[in-house]
Amino acid sequence: MRQAGALPFRHGPDGLRVLLITSRDTGRWVIPKGHVEPGQTAAIAAAVEAYEEAGLAGAVSNMPLGIYTYGKRLRSGVVLPATVEVYSLEVGIQMRKWPERKQRRLQWMDVETAAALVQEAGLSVLMHRLAEVV
C-alpha cells in the first residue's frame, strides 16, 4: 500500500516547529497522510492530505524527505504494510475550517518532542532529517 504524507513545519520565534495531528481511530500522533490518487503526484497528494486533515496550505517540496513503513489497520482488523513517501510542507496558511477539523487534534511542537511522540521510528528519523535541511 503506497501513501504520501506531509511533514508540516514553520519557523517562529521559538525556532523550527512541526505539526502533528491525531489519527481518527486510535488518537495517536501522526502526520497528514493518505493514498496517492490516479493522476496525482505523491507531492500533490501530500499537500491535499495536509489540507483535508489539518487545514494547511503552503509550499510542498518536490523531492521526498524519505520513506517509512508502518502497519495500516483496515476496518476488517487486518494489518497491511503501508509505505509512506514524506514531503516537507512549509506552512503558509493554517485555516480555521477544513474537512476533518472535528475528527482530529492538532499541535505544533519542536522536532525533538514530535520525534518522541510518534510510534514509527522511521518517521522520527525523517523529522530529524527535516531539522538538518531547513
- Pairwise CA distance, residues 81 & 69, whole Å: 7
- Pairwise CA distance, residues 51 & 45, whole Å: 10
Q: Domains (ranges, CATH) in the chain? A: 2-133 (3.90.79.10)
Per-residue pLDDT tens for 44-95? 999 999 999 999 999 999 999 999 999 988 889 899 999 999 999 999 999 9
Q: How many helices (H) and strands (E) does the chain have?
A: 3, 8
pTM of the full predicted structure?
0.95
* Residue 8, Cβ density class (10 Å: 0-12 exposed, 13-18 middle, ≥19 buried): buried
Integer angstrom CA distances of residue 113 from 29, 48, 116, 130: 11, 25, 5, 14
Q: Are 105 and 121 in contact (CB under 8 A)?
A: no
